[in-house]
Structure 1
Amino acid sequence: MKKLYGLVLILGLALVLAACGGSDDDNNASDKSNEDKNGEATETEGMIPEKLVIGFVPSQDSDTIADTVKPLADRLGEELGIPVEGTVMTDYNSLVEAMGANQVHVGFIPAFGYVLAKEQYDVEVILKSIRYGSGTYKAQYLVRSDSGIESLEDLRDKVWAYADQGSTSGYLFPASQLMKEFDIATAAELETEFFSETFTSGGHDNSAIMVYEGDADVATTFDDVRTELEEEYPDVMEKLTVLTYTEEIPNDTISVTKELDKEFVQKIKDTFLSFNDDEEMIKVMNDVYNWDAIDEATDEEYQVVKETYAKFKDTVGLD
């Protein structure tokens, strides 16, 4: 009986010790879990997707962009160690919304699109394009050389073609310039009272072609979209004339969503910068957006765009 009692006592003590040990293990797991949760809230940790999605917007034919960017996506995937998919959105706003929903993680977006994405979804700019050795560019007004249009005043009651309202050089800066020049209060008044008609063409090249073919009187595009059309339209440089330019605009961006892990973002940034020494990759960038190089960028560089955008928040339906 004493032996049985002793055995029961020993078993009881073993169970108590096991319970205590289990409690300690549970506490340790809980502590680790809390550490993980705290870690997720820090600046250095975040999401690393199983597949990285890069978003582009049309500056030319969408199918052409989709085919052209595939080598770049493949190379980026090799360097990052995960699949990378390039997707072409319908316009700038679609890309901004996709980044806000974290459906697109890295966006090739122009200055205006970046400002929208920053304001609405805290998207971060990490890189910018370099063209002709510069981090800025101008928008241009294209008219037919035989149109008789010689000044901005001559655009009154004419037909205007632009890529879309989310385009920095295609819409935002030209519209701002015209509104200031002719004391026009809203973008809506500019489109309906200054111009006789407007067309959203879906791409800078399409806008230029509309003028070339006589379907519009003026196209506002990046400088100089005509060079992309010379193969198909050999006389485009003679047929279309640059009327004038806007002020300087910060170049396009490579921007990322706020959810991405910061160290992973740095790896993305370093990989893109390494493409400066890779002729094949720079050729891809040049074929898609006329990028000659890639450079680092900061939010402060886009202040002029933020100030210009402020004029449009309540007038062009982009807020």
Structure 2
Amino acid sequence: MQLRGQAKHLVLGLALLALPLTLFGCGKTTSATSSSSSAGYSPKQLTVEFVPSQNAGTLEAKAKPLEGLLKKQLGIPVKVSVSTDYNTIVEAMGSKKVDVGFLPPDAYVLAHKQYKDKVLLQAQRYGLKEPNDQTTKQLVNYYRSEILVRKDSGIKNLKDLKGKKIAVQDTTSTSGWIFPAVEMLEHGVNINKDHIKTVQVKGHDQGALSVYNKNTDAAFVFQGARAIVKKDAKDIYQKLTPIYTTGKIPNDTITVRGDMNAKWQQKVANAFKAIAKTKKGHAIISSVYSHEGYVDSKDSNFDIIRQYDKKAAELNK
């Protein structure tokens, strides 16, 4: 009887000993579930916004057909629109009004810093050669900015820009402000101090046209901007020429709001990559931003932008 009683206590003790382990195991399972790919924001309707690299009305008309293509890929309604400028789209994503932004590199860096927004993809384009932006057969994940002037202006180099009027984009625009302004400073010309007047225009097409129409002496534009206005200004390659081309700039991003869950991040990335490979989808992204396709990206690809941002702060010293 005594042995039977001892055995009883032994079994009870082992059961109690196992209980914490069982509970710990359950707790661990619960924790793993809560951190799964489904945690976070899941859109019921996807809002996608572009920045105006060209006339906003024209751009929106070109981009609207993406709504149907994305809806087919994702299975939810999609709304596509164009923001008024770079800062507006960053703030819209930060306030959760926009889910996906086609952000140029500097706007992405700002969005990541302020709101932890996440880069998914980087655009690919065909490389360009000067002087007339001839297209190469090589797909690249970078582009360049150039400073355009009229061939008959007498402006031959960066120092000739002192005292002139330059068409620029928003101050967060990588190719429309930061890269050319920083590299001018490295060559001894301060855009804020050397009697240069800047005129902000909306869209690189408007920058090129302002020089073409003699409203400004020069323009900061992405390399290839003349091609998007060639239809309206057939002799633009004969009239305008670049006097300076910057170093490599990481290509545009497809960025999502920071709280979007991993499952939806992957779905969005896959959708854009798939659309870019279709005839209709490729035609849209090519006409909107001259994109040829998309590749996976990561935040460290944009450290060069952060370096230039620090240098840009020296413009006001």
1:66 is aligned, of 60, 65, 73, to 60
Matched, 1:254 2:254: yes
Q: Spell out, residue by residue over 1:242-301, the C-alpha distance to the aligned partner (whole angstroms, 9 max, x if none).
A: 111011100000001111121011011111111232011011001110111111111111
In 1, are the aligned partners of 2:48 and 2:98 still within 8 Å (CA)? yes
Deviation of the 1:307 alpha carbon: 1.0
Alignment of 1:211-290 (within 5 A): 211-290=211-290
Cα pair distance change 1:90/1:40, threshold 3 Å: farther
Q: Secondary structure at the match of 2:177?
A: helix
Matched, 1:109 2:103: yes
1:135 is aligned, of 132, 141, 149, to 141
Q: Secondary structure at the match of 2:304?
A: helix
* 1:151 corresponds to: 157
Q: Secondary structure at the match of 1:270?
A: helix
C-alpha separation in 1, matches of 2:97 and 2:276 = 28
In 2, are the aligned partners of 1:129 and 1:291 still within 8 Å (CA)? yes
Q: Spell out, residue by residue over 1:74-98, the C-alpha distance to the aligned partner (whole angstroms, 9 max, x if none).
A: 2111211111101111111111111
In 2, are the aligned partners of 1:159 and 1:195 still within 8 Å (CA)? no
| One-letter amino acid of the structure 1 residue matched with residue 310 of structure 2 | A
Q: Secondary structure at the match of 1:94?
A: helix
2:166 is aligned, of 152, 160, 165, to 160
Deviation of the 1:167 alpha carbon: 0.9
In 1, are the aligned partners of 2:181 and 2:312 still within 8 Å (CA)? no
Taking structure 1 as the reference length, the TM-score comes to 0.82
In 2, are the aligned partners of 1:160 and 1:195 still within 8 Å (CA)? no
Cα pair distance change 1:313/1:296, threshold 3 Å: same
In 2, are the aligned partners of 1:163 and 1:203 still within 8 Å (CA)? yes
* 1:6 corresponds to: none
Q: Secondary structure at the match of 1:157?
A: coil
Q: Secondary structure at the match of 1:194?
A: coil
Which segment drifts farther, 168-177 or 276-285? 276-285
Deviation of the 1:205 alpha carbon: 0.7
The percent identity for this pair of structures is 34
Cα pair distance change 1:145/1:78, threshold 3 Å: same
In 1, are the aligned partners of 2:276 and 2:285 still within 8 Å (CA)? no
CA RMSD of aligned residues (A): 2.1
Matched, 1:126 2:120: yes
Deviation of the 1:42 alpha carbon: 5.4
* 2:47 corresponds to: 53
| One-letter amino acid of the structure 1 residue matched with residue 264 of structure 2 | F
Cα pair distance change 1:123/1:315, threshold 3 Å: farther
Deviation of the 1:39 alpha carbon: 5.3
C-alpha separation in 2, matches of 1:40 and 1:102 = 22
Deviation of the 1:235 alpha carbon: 0.5
Gaps of 5+ in 2: 1-25, 127-138
C-alpha separation in 1, matches of 2:125 and 2:90 = 24
Gaps of 5+ in 1: 1-30, 185-189
* 2:92 corresponds to: 98
| One-letter amino acid of the structure 2 residue matched with residue 162 of structure 1 | V
Taking structure 2 as the reference length, the TM-score comes to 0.83
C-alpha separation in 2, matches of 1:294 and 1:302 = 16
Runs of 4 or more above 6 Å deviation: none
C-alpha separation in 2, matches of 1:183 and 1:149 = 14
| One-letter amino acid of the structure 2 residue matched with residue 139 of structure 1 | S
Deviation of the 1:225 alpha carbon: 0.4
Matched, 1:84 2:78: yes
The alignment of Structure 1 onto Structure 2 pairs a total of residues equal to: 278
Alignment of 1:183-198 (within 5 A): 184=190, 190-191=191-192, 193-198=193-198
C-alpha separation in 1, matches of 2:195 and 2:117 = 35
